[in-house]
Structure 1
Amino acid sequence: MRPYNRAARTRLPSESDGRITPERRVAETLSYIGFVDAAWELYERSGDETLLRRTCADERIDQLWASMLLRDAITDYQLLDSPPDASDHHGLVVVLDLARAATDNV
């Protein structure tokens, strides 16, 4: 991991027995309260590993999360990687079919 990422993307040493541990509390909290990572959701449905491509040079750190009410409405996910070098992170698109959204427990 690059040194400048350690401060922003890892847990404090006092919280992780002095080890460099990825900071995943935000994703864990979103998952815990019922949100889903759109790319992961579609990957689980289809097995298409291209959905899990890196969103920047080193890893897949960017995600789009949807509430459980919208989980079934996710119909497509795209990683926008052109033009090349437009940004240090690729754009993401999620397509929702709102007719498929849950409306039974809003």
Structure 2
Amino acid sequence: MSWQLLSRFIDSEHFNKDPSLTVAYLARYADHVGIHYALCSKLRTFSYEEIEFFLPQLCHLIVSVDNESMALEEFVVDLCEESVGGALLTFWLFQTYLHDLSAKPASEAFRTCRRG
């Protein structure tokens, strides 16, 4: 898909109604820094209540996808500053990942969790 076509779709009314599309496209285009940044900017247009359900998926993307973009991490940090519930949920998720990854402390995923 060309960037122009994808950009038009991201800006469409259909895309603006459902945060699940943004999360799905974050996973699909995780290795494209520019697209990743645009999608994280789109996530900022949704309220915490609309995003809360997807927080485990977003944390999983942060841990499991090796990407040079910091946009998703910055989005989750900002979300945690807005919501105590979001901060607790994110903390628990990263603690779980740290426990699961404790056998591989040199892995990039482990270092990402410690940073989060």
Q: Same fold (TM over 0.5)?
A: no
Larger proportion of strand = 1
Greater Rg, structure 1 or structure 2?
Answer: 1
Larger proportion of helix = 2
TM-score (norm 1): 0.29
